[in-house]
Chains A and B, each alone.
Chain A
Amino acid sequence: MLVSLNWLQEYIDVSAYKPEELAEIITKTGIEVESVEPVAEDVTGVVVGCVVSCEQHPNADKLSLCQVDVGTETLQIVCGAPNIAEGQKVAVATPGAVLPGNFKIKKTKLRGEVSNGMICSLQELGVDEKDVPAEFSEGIYVFPEDAETGVNAISLLNLDDIIIELGLTPNRSDAMSMAGVAYEVAAAIDGQYQLADEKVTPVEDKTEDHLSVQVEDPEANPYYGAFLIKDVQVGPSPLWMQNRLTASGVRPINNVVDITNYVLLEYGQPLHAFDYNRFESNEIVIRFAKDGEIIKTLDDQERKLSSNHLVITNGEEPHAIAGVMGGAKSEVQEDTSAIILEAAYFAPSVVRESSKDHGLRSESSSRFEKGVDPNRVERAGKRACELLEKYANGKVLSGVASFDQLDRSEKQVTIQTSRINDRLGTEISNEEIQDILRRLQFSYEQEGEEFKVTIPTRRGDVVLFEDMLEEVARIYGYDRLPFTLPEGSSQAGGLSLYQQLKRKTKAYFEGAGLNETITYSLTHESKATMLMSPEIEQEAKAPVGLAMPMSEDHSHLRLSILPEMLESLSYNVARKQHDIAYYELGTVFVSEEEQVTAQPNEVLRAAGALTGTWHTNPWQQEKKDVDFFVVKGVVEGLSEHLNIPFTYEKAKLSHMHPGRTAVVKAGDEIVGFIGQVHPKLQKELGLKETYVFDLNAEKLFTKYSKEEAFQTIPRYPSVSRDIALVVDREEAAGDIVSTISEAGAPLVKNVQVFDVYQGENLPEGKKSLAFNLLYLDPNRTLKDKEVEEAHDNILSAVQENHNAEVR
């Protein structure tokens, strides 16, 4: 809502405040002021002048030599505007005047002729290009004929105005009018304001003899009033009115339309004027449209209506979509001589539907949608009649043709001073409450500390005790509230185990050298299912899609973090950042339904992607690129960190390198996968070798047990033995480790691969593997004989199970 301070000043005296001060007060008591802007920069010394004569400049084709009466004297001025003419009233910057940009006007000579000033265009006076009427955009501005010679042109053009922009929250629709703003400002600064009475002098002829109103659905349209105004002369509206409309962001059109818009801004009540003759009926019927009915609206659009759209008809065809937009057929035009003026109350939900369906949000619809003041509907009609009399030469017929079932009653809210103080934590007195209610202009009956407050209908947002609590608090001032801390029951705040594990996991990855990312949950449909972990793939029927996505790139909820993460790797590599190690802890959305009806399972995943160099120290000739075992090391580290043993099984997964991918298992359950991204996908993304992991953090956290994580440090020495084996190349080292661990239980505590070799000195198709074994009994020192026995056991087990040859 744009508020002209010059206009506001007419309702309530705010001259004691600087605009910024006033803005601050309004912000602190109720409505946020978003900006305070002068209409134009500082301009001085510009008056209305009358062009007495206008001749061709003797030495220049495109210049005119004008004699201009500026009230006190007549000045010779050279003017270059194409639209200058004798008899015009123009804006004259006299010598000594200052125009925007600190441009000082001096007496000068132009092509040999004296020029005592400058005749100005609106742009030269600092008016925004967009606010300049089309007819004056290429030349000087010309005042209406009745402009008085010699008066201050700046105030006549309202260029000394300051516009305050209010950011209105949905509850404060009362401030969508100058009257509403004036009430609010009066409460804020403890000033005086009352909406003035309307003064209409109707002719004897009665509206009701010419018009009838019929409403089919009183709930959708509880009040419809039609005024009839004859002998209207359509023309421009007075300059002051045009200025106020422009200041409020509304473009002036003609006096009739401007008056309806002016009253909309003044009272907050949208009105509509129909050309009575083009309406072609004495019968106004308000009903819901028939499905498929067509109306051509003021913007020349043919609109197809349906049965949820309320329309104003002449008994046959629609002439307006109620509260949204009028029809083109009965539009007020230059030859209009009689108008039907509509002042109505349309139900907010009805207007909202029409405006939504037709994509039409107007100054009118936005006010109806919030609910207008029922006690101002008819008054607004009268106010427009008053202005039509004055500025459009209209003859207002007496009375109003109406349908009226509108509830205009005022609601009551009871408050108690003690209850207010209990809620706010304050010590406000009864007298202070009285004073606040007086400022708000809410009447009340008081009994002791109890106030029965009558809420004016303009404040439809005040319904509950809590609403009154807010009214009291904001006028009292939030600044005056002391600081206290809650006194109630205390609890020890803290993180749940799940939250602790999230932080622990993040800390681990970061310590391991990975950077955390946050990627989008919404992705392209094709990417939503890409790189899913096998256990997710098994559960998820289809990715969860949005009903109405904004773009294809963000249309479906992800089932894997990796596709968007790879995208960000690709983004970095394209910017010459080649060495990236990322991880993310985030949810994926698993629905077990083909067509989603219930909330999907949100599964927390820990995913990562690494590419480029893992470690480098050039002057020591150290360089290690990311490979499978780097990523596996990161994952193994997490396994150790969470004390959950993982096993790895070779696997073939789509979009992954078929020979360098493994599923990760905890016990018998798959909890994720690791491996190299398929070279084809790498190429598509512009990536070199890239390795990823994706783990089911949700599941891992449930397996975590704090108690099991700690064991006593052994007090007895361990015994270390090595084994070297020659096996078939296909034998997996992990399987042999399992065999050793099983056969050596319970004494073997740790088995470590320390050498892998294949090639020279070994038979074709064979490889050599070396393991270090650690024997330990936590309760005593082991005897050599026991170790020997266990070791022999192990050797025969590997010979048997893996066809291994001991070296």
Chain B
Amino acid sequence: MKERLEQLKQEALEKVTQAENIQSLKDVRVEYLGKKGPITEVLKGMGKLSKEERPVIGQLANEVREEVANAIETKQSRLEDEALERQLEEESIDVTLPGRPVQVGGPHLLTSIIEEIEDLFIGMGFEIKEGPEVETDYYNFEALNLPKGHPARDMQDSFYITEELLLRTHTSPVQARTMGKKNGSEPVKMICPGKVYRRDTDDATHSHQFTQIEGLLVDKNVRMTDLKGVLNTFAKQMFGEDRDIRLRPSFFPFTEPSVEMDISCKVCGGEGCSVCKRTGWIEILGAGMVHPNVLEMAGYDPKEYTGFAFGMGPERIAMLKYGVDDIRNFYTNDIRFLEQYHKA
């Protein structure tokens, strides 16, 4: 019987080896390990054996069973792996084909610039204030030290609606309105972005509609060096740590002293080139210490309160930062232009 078992084992293992698919492997299992299989047969005939032989053969039969079962299992798992591999191979795709496009829009370049500046000043503790685009003559001019007949009114020819109403020519009226609400006793720390309008014929450098951001800080003991410090922080964050600023005298009716701020030219590093008109500097914004008449009209005592204000044009900053060469591009809304600056 021993020989018979050995022989069966050899036969079974041989068939396992030869099995090429899961079905033939199943057949081997049924043939050798099934209830009617030869090993079972052998075990059935054990009654004829002696007491001593019985356990020996029984153990041997079990060993053979186990060995065959293991072989089947190993082979089966190998066949399954091979089958899966074949299947996955069939599922293979061309990974170089383009992906399904996800449509994403984006902000207008001017909005990106304005929000960048907003966030920068929010970081320095400024609030954002907004105001009407149709303004009264009082807030647009008079409250800003520009009485009727003031020669500087020529500087900004305006779109009037009635004698007393006009499209604001700057966002400064928002400053006047904000200050006016403080009863002359609270500090103001704000920036005001928005659309403004001037009587200009649209061309590469002029637009009858454009945007502006102005800032205002009114408090006790505000110094001109504070203005310089805040503008320096702004310029370095907006244009890069390696840029220098300089202030030079200028004139605005609502500030005294008035200055213009230049930043060092990025193209030539201050050496002078065509971009900076050989000066090494590029004009960025106007600023100054709030004129005592403006403070007074807003209800502040200019002996007690002082302040600074500044204003800049996002179009100009965009033109400098991104090389836009025609201001009309901002308002034509050509999709190719808009999409180009989504990364801005």
Residues of chain A having any CB pair with chain B under 8 Å: 20, 24, 27-32, 35, 169-172, 348-349, 352, 369-370, 422-426, 464-467, 469-470, 473-474, 478-479, 481-496, 499, 503, 506, 509-522, 544-550, 554, 557, 565, 568, 571-572, 575, 577, 580-583, 587, 589, 596-600, 602, 614-617, 619-620, 622
Contact = CB atoms under 8 A, between A and B. Distances in A.
In this complex, the member of B97, B124, B223, B232 whose beta carbon has the largest number of chain A beta carbons within 10 angstroms is B223
A599 B209 contact: no
Contacts of A519: 331, 333
B92 interface: no
Contacts of B165: 596-599
20 contacts: A35-B277, A348-B151, A352-B149, A424-B224, A425-B224, A464-B256, A473-B249, A482-B225, A483-B228, A489-B219, A491-B125, A499-B130, A503-B115, A512-B105, A515-B338, A516-B107, A568-B334, A571-B332, A602-B134, A617-B100
B208 A513 contact: no
B226 A473 contact: no
Given A510-B105, A520-B209, A171 B335 contact: no
B257 A473 contact: yes
Contacts of B279: 24, 27
A164 to B, nearest CB: 13
A476 to B, nearest CB: 11
Contacts of A30: 249
B142 interface: no
Given A170-B152, A599-B134, A425 B249 contact: no
A801 to B, nearest CB: 39
A583 B103 CA distance: 14
A490 B209 contact: no
Nearest to A424: B224
A580 B105 CA distance: 10
A495 B257 contact: no
Interface string B212-243: 00000101111111101110110000000000
Contacts of A517: 108, 333, 338
A27 B262 CA distance: 11
Contacts of B249: 28-31, 470, 473-474, 478
A550 B226 contact: no
Nearest to A547: B160
Contacts of A465: 292
Given A520-B331, A596-B165, A466 B256 contact: yes
Nearest to B201: A550
Contacts of B251: 169-172
Q: Is the interface of B mostly helix, strand, loop or mixed?
A: mixed
Nearest to B209: A520
A180 to B, nearest CB: 15
A589 B246 CA distance: 40
Contact of A488 (B149, B219, B332, B342): B219
Given A32-B260, A426-B225, A478-B247, A490 B125 contact: yes
B290 to A, nearest CB: 9
B24 to A, nearest CB: 41
Contact of B209 (A495, A514, A522, A546): A522
A447 B155 CA distance: 41
A394 to B, nearest CB: 36
Given A424-B223, A488-B221, A550-B199, A600 B134 contact: yes
A581 B105 contact: yes
A32 B260 CA distance: 10
A484 B101 contact: no
Given A495-B122, A506-B107, A568-B332, A597 B162 contact: yes
A291 B50 CA distance: 152
Contacts of B155: 170
Interface string B276-310: 01110000000001011000000000000010000
A510 B331 contact: no
Interface in B118-152: 118, 121-128, 130, 132-136, 149, 151-152
Contacts of A516: 105-108, 111, 338
Contacts of A510: 104-107
A426 B224 CA distance: 9
What 10 A-B pairs are tightest by C-beta distance, nearest first?
A425-B225, A425-B223, A169-B251, A470-B257, A513-B103, A488-B219, A568-B333, A478-B247, A493-B122, A466-B256
A620 B110 CA distance: 37
Given A485-B230, A550-B199, A596-B165, A518 B125 contact: no
A547 B162 contact: yes
A549 B125 CA distance: 40
Contacts of B184: none
A568 B336 CA distance: 12
A478 B257 CA distance: 11
Contacts of A478: 228, 246-249, 259
B331 A169 contact: no
A596 B162 contact: yes
A664 B219 CA distance: 47
Contacts of B195: 521
Contact of A467 (B110, B135, B256): B256
A544 B104 CA distance: 36
A43 to B, nearest CB: 22
Contacts of A171: 251
A249 to B, nearest CB: 20
Contact of B128 (A352, A496, A544, A622): A496
Contacts of A600: 134
B189 to A, nearest CB: 6
A581 B339 CA distance: 11
Nearest to B221: A488
Contacts of B247: 478-479, 481
Contacts of A589: 133-134
Contacts of A620: 100
A582 B337 CA distance: 13
B250 interface: yes
A509 B187 CA distance: 37
B47 interface: no
B98 interface: yes
Contacts of B217: 486
B256 A488 contact: no
Contacts of A514: 105
A616 B101 contact: yes
A522 B167 CA distance: 10
Given A489-B219, A596-B165, A169 B338 contact: no
Contacts of B171: none
B186 to A, nearest CB: 8
A460 B19 CA distance: 112
A663 B289 CA distance: 51
Given A486-B222, A518-B108, 8 more contacts: A370-B151, A465-B292, A487-B221, A510-B104, A514-B105, A520-B208, A522-B159, A544-B161
